[in-house]
């Protein structure tokens, strides 16, 4: 299977490329910055398509000849929903067989970055595509900035209340689930919450 991997050089989705390659999946990395083509190749991508999710022509070119799409979209962009549904429609028009969407945990929440993914999920449900929807909890990799400030200054800084309860997932595990979804048929037409065990508050992260 040949898969177009969006976000292929990103902090999180960049972990998907080597996971796919390890499962024998051919990867066409989709990158916006031409200067990052080498980074995608170093991660294991067989080929690189330079383009932008907001540029339909580059998306169509990138989709040509692929069997699947790993889709991740900017969480806080004002056009998140439109970007996602546009890619789903383009994939269907291009004859793509399977889409794996890395969305968010609990998309039913009214939070903007959660609710904006619901139309993308609905587009997949109503399409003729094989799909796997991954709903990961907060990424452990996202703790790195707060951890660095804690080490340097003794203060853990986070953009949410100290009383917020949350659960986390290592995005390497999300990448592995995405790879399984392309390399096998085991997760076809399924929606899966991905989280490590336990619920913590920010102060609890110290323990």
Half-sphere exposure (Cβ direction) of 19: Cα atoms closer than 13 Å: 20
The alpha carbon of residue 16 and the mean position of all alpha carbons in its chain are separated, in whole angstroms, by 8
Element (H, E) at 131: strand 130-136
For the chain, helix (H) and strand (E) counts, in that order, are 8, 9
The predicted structure's pLDDT at residue 104: 83
Q: Which pLDDT value is given to residue 41?
A: 97
Amino acid 34: pLDDT: 96
CB 206 within 8 A of CB 47: no
pLDDT tens, residue by residue, 46-101: 999 999 999 999 999 999 999 999 999 987 788 989 999 999 999 999 999 999 99
Tell me what pLDDT residue 192 has: 96
Residue 149 pLDDT > 70, yes or no? no
192 within some domain:
yes
Per-position b or e across 74-90, b if 16+ CB within 10 A of its CB? eeeeeebbbbbbbbbeb
CATH of residue 24: 3.40.50.720
User: Averaged over 16-39, what is the pLDDT?
Assistant: 97
The pLDDT value recorded for residue 148 is: 64
Q: Is the pLDDT of residue 183 over 80?
A: yes
What mean pLDDT is predicted for residues 23-31?
A: 98
Please tell me which residue, 160 or 190, carries the higher pLDDT value. Answer: 190
Split into its structural domains, the chain has a count of 1
Residue 125 domain flag:
yes
Residue 182 has pLDDT above 60, yes or no: yes
pLDDT at 150: 62
- pLDDT value at residue 162: 64
pTM: 0.88
Q: In whole numbers, what is the pLDDT of the chain averaged over residues?
A: 88
Assess if residue 156 is contained within a domain: no
Query: Quick check: is 144 in a domain?
Result: no
Quickly list DSSP for 68-126.
Answer: EEEE---TT-TTHHHHHHHHHHHHHHTT--EEEEE--S-TTSSSHHHHTTHHHHHHHHT
By residue range, what is the domain housing residue 51? 2-139+169-199
User: Reduced to 3 states, what is the DSSP secondary structure of residue 159?
Assistant: coil
* Cβ count near 185 (within 10 Å): 11
Mean pLDDT computed over 26-53: 97
Q: 168-169 and 190-194: which strand pairing?
A: unpaired
Q: In which band, very low, low, confident or very high, does the pLDDT at 157 lie, cut at 50, 70 and 90?
A: low
42 in a structural domain: yes
């Amino acid at each position: 299977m040949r898969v177009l991997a969006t976000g292929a050089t990103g902090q999180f989705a960049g972990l998907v490329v080597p996971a796919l390659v390890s499962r024998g999946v051919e990867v066409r990395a989709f990158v916006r910055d031409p200067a990052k083509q080498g980074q995608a190749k170093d991660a294991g991508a067989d080929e690189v398509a330079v383009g932008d999710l907001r540029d339909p022509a580059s998306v169509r070119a990138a989709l040509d000849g692929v069997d699947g799409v790993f889709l991740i979209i900017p969480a806080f962009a004002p056009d998140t929903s439109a970007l996602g549904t546009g890619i789903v429609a383009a994939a269907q028009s291009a004859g793509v067989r399977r889409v794996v969407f890395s969305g968010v945990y609990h998309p039913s929440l009214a939070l903007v970055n959660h609710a904006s993914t619901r139309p993308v999920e609905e587009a997949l449900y109503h399409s003729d595509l094989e799909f796997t929807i991954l709903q990961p909890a907060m990424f452990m990799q996202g703790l790195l900035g707060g951890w660095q400030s804690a080490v340097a200054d003794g203060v853990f800084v986070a953009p949410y209340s100290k009383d917020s309860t949350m659960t986390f997932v290592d995005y390497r595990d999300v990448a592995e689930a995405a790879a399984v979804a392309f390399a096998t048929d085991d997760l076809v037409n399924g929606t899966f919450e991905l989280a490590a065990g336990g619920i913590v508050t920010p102060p609890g992260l110290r323990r």
